[in-house]
Structure 1
Amino acid sequence: MIVFISIYISVIFYHSLKPLPLGLSMEGEVHYSNHVQFLKDTTYKDKNGKRVLKQEILTSILKQIEEANKFIVIDMFLFNKDSDKDQVYPNMTETVVHALIKKKQDYPAISIIFITDRVNTAYSSYPSKELTKMKENGIEVIMTNLHVLRDSNPLYSGIWRMFFQWFGEKGNGQLPNLLANSAPKVNIWSYLDLLNVKANHRKVVITEKAALISSGNIHDASGYHSNTAFLIKGNIVGDALKSENSVSNFSKDIDFPTYKEKQEVYSDLQVQLLTEGKIAKHVLSSIKATKKGDIIWIGMLYLADRKIVDALKQAASSDVMIHIILDPNQNSFGNKKAGLPNIPVAAELVNATPANLQIKWYNTGKEQYHTKMMFIEGKQGDTIISGSANYTRRNLADLNLETNVKIIGAKEAKVMKDIKSYFEKLWNNQGAEYTKDYHKEDSVPVFRYILYRLQRLFWFTTY
């Protein structure tokens, strides 16, 4: 027993603290760009109570694909058509599959690489029809090797690494698919793998002309989610390629496209690629640098990271005005959720600094407010940090793979005006019922709060 416990503890510590694969937790160079475009997908309830969907991100992705000449690299967490049978969603996945295949057929010399997560095959329980079709048409598909990443659920993963990983087999699923009942059945080994709670959570589209860094997946069941993205031209494309090449290097050894940097012209906008733990570094430093009179806007699916929560409290106590729009965490692909982590975190923040820190809930239906963005209005200029990363331990502590962009610029810059207009429109419900006020009674039952505390303690959670 002593030997087993010693080995178990050793496995836990090693796989929680082991060196990251080369190229992860990247802090890219600061580049100048005159071409930064803000894109948004917004689902909302109009004044007549009808839900309305306005999409810009998919349209931009299709245009990127159409205009590419040399290469297309896509890294996308969710990429499938699976859903519950009684639900209907936009046909996003097949639209992109068709566009990529057509591009490859029309321009056989173009390099197209598609990087994704094993969740799209229910962790090897069945093949993805979409990915298989792309492979058959000459598109390079890379399934991310998640096992080289640090363990985010170490108490379980220690057991999995010692025992379960050696016995798994692909296919032959006999169990219901909890991810989507229209998808094929799942085998027990896939569920055991899923409990490691690991993900390549990035949402990036790169061509030789621009990099799109998004909070949104190309995924039918995510088709009604509200998301944001930034399309950026310039040398940040090279950093985005290097970041994706690092995933390829530990997942599948292939020839990867390169980008030749161009002479940069000074611009009022500075852009910087951030991945994994470097996102947390810049979010925290940006919050801590705020001063009295500055304004912080946050739009977020999940807010739970303790360092960020504490930094927001401190900023509010220093007379920084903070406006936070949160998803109520009550729906996920049409299924009910328990309101965790946002409801207890919101209560904590409001109770700590009610005067300077204000929270609103996004007025969701069966979709999610899937945005992950912070915008700081400072005296000397404004800062945006946005991308795939929620403000949680899994997303910020070098566990999940994540990609964000940091944009710094003058208040007069168009992108800064666009972001300010976006947040003010949602906050003030200009023309529609985008958000709902926070009320003291917005709380979770005691047993759910205890569950939230236990999840924080043992890290057995998806956020």
Structure 2
Amino acid sequence: MKKRYLFFIIIGALILIPLIVAGVRYFIPVPDNVAYESEEYQTDHAEFLYDLTYTENENTTQEQEIFEEIYKVIDEAEEFLVLDMFLFNDDYNHETLEFPELSQSLTDKLTAKKEENPELEIVFISDGINTFYGTYTPPHIQALMDAGIEVVFTDLSKLRDSNPLYSGFYRSYFQWFGNSEDQWLKNALRPAGPEVNIRSYLELLNFKANHRKLIINEKNGLVTSANPHDASAHHSNIAVQFSGDILHDLLESERAIVNFSGGNTRMFSDFSDKLQDQADTPEGQYAVKLITEERIKDNILKMVDQAKAKETLNVGLFYLSDRDIIKAFKEALDRGVELNIILDINQDAFGNEKNGVPNRPVADELMKHNNPPNIRWYKSSGEQYHAKFITLETEESLIFNGGSANFTRRNLDNYNLETNMMVTAPRDSDFAQEVTAYYERLWTNEGAEYTLDYEEEAEASLIKTIMYRVQEFTGLSTF
């Protein structure tokens, strides 16, 4: 009997310890300068960019602006470059699919720039997923290092745990094994690529990420939803390019990652000193603000809550699942706000078929509301509608909030690292007209079929609704 009690005590302790760890970690604050919100700056420098993939006369057409502009930022750099990119690899099923070599193209641009100007400091911040969490170093990343470019992999252990049911066990028992370069298990991200090991998968299951996507030099910054990932090259994305004093804040938000990841932050003081004086004035037509992590959600909710009857909210999203935002949408609809939403169907992922979660059950829920929104699906042909933004159109202005953050718990509740830009623009300004023309084009299928009526892909599934609600609440998902 004593042995039996001892056995149950040990088992109970082994289960209790991870639960305590998970509970404690829930209340751990984020690192300094994470969940960052800058002051609002007045400027005349803000530009909206986008990539589109669509079918026209049975032919697939791509309109690419974002990486062309990123390459221009690289070409124009004279003092420094800082990039923070989530997916930076060529991982996909090479046996069945072919994509543009986007990751190698960016690598070639950066290494050529460094060779041209050896004194130029370049910092590339990224996520451990690109090395399958330390299992191997891909050739393109090794090329950056060999060229003298500072590569910083984000220390994901310093972030809050979005999948606490698992991460409590991981922190208690698994993290002490560290990383390994052993290769003996099939690579789920790249079946034809390097093999990995059990420690890699144990870290992967934390579902944590530095999900930011941005570039900055001494003159300009660009925040986007686009990744330099080969299999993402055809995705439809958005970006905002800007200049001015807000670049100091963007640098400060990136310095925070380098700091808690053990990198060299001294150079960031030099970078800040090298920022060119900009022509920001109190009379600038655009009000711009940098927001990261939970501050993105705070500002989304503020936008939705301030929307009045007959004003319009336009939304374009890869993922919509956050319960607070869904609640705010319903309340706005009840106030007489017009809500238009373009959603990815959540059916394609680099050659693999997805089940439509979370967007289809969320769309079904919203359409069953007493005052339903207008919803259209982006018509994809294997690629994704990867945009992440919301706008509020009032009589006088357009308020834009967009960047790397999906509208999900993981992206907006201080788990992932995210960067968005807010721009408040007069309705007759170039920025406002660029954004509204883009949205109107997709919504009305001007010139091609970009979007589908809601009914064409509508799905009412109790199983998928339960799956989505459980995954969103617990973090047992990748969205």
Structure 1 partner of 2:150:
140
3-state DSSP of counterpart to 1:114: strand
Which stretch has the larger CA shift, 118-127 or 342-351? Answer: 118-127
- Distance across 2 between alignment mates of 1:282 and 1:14: 28
**Which residue does the alignment assign to 1:341?**
358
Q: Residues 30-41 of structure 1: matches in 2 within 5 Å?
A: 30-41=40-51
* 1:340 CA displacement: 0.4
TM-score (norm 2): 0.94
Check conservation: 1:168, 1:190, Cα contact below 8 A.
no
SS in 2 for 1:322: strand
Corresponding residue of 2:75: 66
Match of 1:159 in 2: 169
Q: 1:273 aligns with which of 290, 295, 309?
A: 290
Instruction: Determine the structure 2 residue equivalent to 1:88.
Output: 98
Per-residue CA distance 1:326-371 (angstroms, 9 max, x = gap): 000000111100100000000001110455x110000011100000
2:368 counterpart SS class: helix
Following superposition, the deviation at residue 242 of structure 1 comes to 0.3
TM-aligned CA deviation for residue 185 of structure 1: 1.2
Deviating more after overlay: 187-196 vs 3-12: 3-12
Match status 1:244 vs 2:257: no
Report what 2:3 is aligned to: none
The Cα of 1:392 is off from its aligned counterpart by 0.2
Structure 2 counterpart of 1:119, from 129, 148, 159: 129
Return the offset for 1:310. 0.5
The C-alpha deviation readout for 1:24-43, integer Å capped at 9, x for no partner, is: 00001211221111111100
Does 2:272 align with 1:259?
A: yes
Equivalent residue, structure 2, for 1:396: 412
- Once the two structures are superposed, residues 293-335 of structure 1 have per-residue CA deviations (whole angstroms, 9 ceiling, x without a partner) of 1000000000000000010111011110010000000001111
For residue 421 of structure 1, give the secondary structure of its aligned residue in structure 2.
helix
Does structure 2 retain, via aligned residues, the 8 Å contact 1:339–1:444? no
CA distance in 1, matches of 2:106, 2:170: 35
Q: Secondary structure at the match of 1:62?
A: helix
Deviations 1:164-185 (A, max 9, x none): 1112441122111111223211
**Any idea what SS the aligned residue of 2:267 has?**
coil
For the pair 1:52 / 2:35, whether they are aligned, the reply is no
In structure 1, the residue matched to 2:180 is: 170
Q: CA RMSD for the aligned pairs? A: 1.4
Q: How does 1:348-359 map to 2 (within 5 A)?
A: 348-355=365-372, 357-359=373-375
- Matching residue within 287, 309, 330 for 1:313: 330
Is contact 1:245–1:256 with CA below 8 Å preserved after alignment? no
Unaligned regions of 5+ residues in structure 2, if any?
1-8
Q: 1:429 corresponds to which residue?
A: 445
Distance, in Å, in 2 between the alignment partners of 1:49 and 1:379 is 39
Instruction: Name the structure 2 match of 1:368.
Output: 384
Secondary structure of the 2:402 match is strand
Matched length: 461
Name the TM-score, length of structure 1 as normaliser: 0.97
Find out whether 1:220 has 2:230 as its counterpart: yes
Q: C-alpha separation between the residues in 2 aligned to 1:213 and 1:441?
A: 31
**Is contact 2:322-2:472 (8 Å) kept?**
no
Q: What is the alpha-carbon distance in structure 2 between the residues aligned to residue 125 and residue 369 of structure 1?
A: 31
Once the two structures are superposed, what CA deviation does each residue of 1:200-245 show, in whole Å capped at 9, x if it has no partner?
0000101011110000001111000000001101111111100000
1:298 to 296, 315, 318: 315
Q: Which runs of 4+ in 1 moved over 4 A?
A: none
Amino acid at match of 2:76: E
Q: Residues 143 and 237 of structure 1: is their aligned pair in 2 closer, same or farther, counting only changes over 3 Å?
A: same
Structure 1 equivalent of residue 139 of structure 2: 129
Which structure is larger by alpha-carbon Rg, 1 or 2? 2
Runs (5+) with no aligned partner, structure 1: none
